[in-house]
Amino acid sequence: MSNCIIAPSILSADFARLGEEVDNVIAAGADWVHFDVMDNHYVPNLTIGPMVCQALRKHGVTAPIDVHLMVEPVDRIVPDFAEAGASLISFHPEASKHVHRTIQLIKSHGCKAGLVLNPGTPVEVLDWVLEDLDLVLLMSVNPGFGGQAFIPSTLDKLRAVRAMIDKRGKPVILEVDGGVKADNIGQIAAAGADAFVAGSAIFNAPDYAQVIAQMRGNVAAARG
């Protein structure tokens, strides 16, 4: 699969003007809205919940909303996000007692299901659930904050997970999150990623369209 899904993380957007920020970034060429949910428990930060997701839908956002749950426990909040208009819901295996059950729960509510691997989480956690997943998200920073530096070992991990996905043959989107910039996105794409979360690199740039175009150009160049 040679997708190039650009998913700006609204964690770095101006929350006082969130609807407008999302409209602008989609108009600038983004594919998905990456929606970071933090609970001050699983991660040491607190952000936004289903009401904000619903508000974006009511505002008129039609792009896929890629919900990244950094919350523990996971299951209680899944139906709320499905009702609020989430398209994809991803969670961390460490935050759910029954990973397989949570995946089925997400899918039973009509959303695509993703599993998120922290930098220290072994890829073997995918062994018995990969066929049930629509997406694997590799964290290239420790979750909790925007603006951190990309952890280089993620490149080897991307190659390992790409091989696992290709071996099984079923299309599973491989997404990467944390420290993704125009100047490293080529390497990340070459290592096998299909979808790229970028918060500060996009929302801190003066021209969203320009940075997204630059990212797409660098992905295309790296893939040859």
Catalytic annotation present for 36: yes
**Binding-site residue ranges for substrate:** 9, 68, 144-147, 177-179, 199-200
- Cα separation of 181 and 104, whole Å? 33
- Cα separation of 172 and 195, whole Å? 11
Q: Choose among 55, 89, 93: nearest CA to 73.
A: 93
Q: Choose among 3, 63, 69: nearest CA to 33.
A: 63
Indicate the residue among 177 and 194 with the shorter CB distance to ligand DX5.
Answer: 177
- Provide Rg for the chain, Cα atoms: 16
Work out which of 66, 175, 177, 194 binds ligand DX5, going by CB under 6 A. 177
Q: Please identify the residue of the shown chain whose CB is closest to the bound ligand DX5.
A: 199
Instruction: Give, for 220, the enclosing helix (H) or strand (E).
Output: helix 208-223
The one catalytic residue in 156, 177, 183, 207 is: 177
Lookup: tokens for 57: 């839908």
Lookup: tokens for 92: 């961390």
CB under 5 A: which stretch of 117-125, 173-181, 186-194, 213-221 binds Zn ion?
Answer: 173-181
Q: How many residues bind Zn ion (CB under 5 A)?
A: 3
- Cα separation of 147 and 64, whole Å? 23
Catalytic annotation present for 31: no
Helix (H, G, I), strand (E, B) or coil at 8: strand
Q: Is 93 in the site for ligand DX5 (CB under 6 A)?
A: no
Q: Is 114 in the site for ligand DX5 (CB under 6 A)?
A: no
- Cα separation of 81 and 83, whole Å? 5
Indicate the residue among 112 and 166 with the shorter CB distance to Zn ion.
Answer: 112
Q: Is 154 in the site for ligand DX5 (CB under 6 A)?
A: no
Work out which of 54, 184, 200, 214 binds ligand DX5, going by CB under 6 A. 200
Q: Is 178 in the site for ligand DX5 (CB under 6 A)?
A: yes
Question: What is the closest distance, in whole angstroms, from the C-beta atom of residue 38 to Zn ion in the complex?
Answer: 9
In the complex, the residues that contact ligand DX5 under the rule CB under 6 A are: 9, 11-12, 34, 36, 68, 141, 143-144, 146-148, 177-180, 197-201
Residues with a catalytic annotation lie at 36, 177
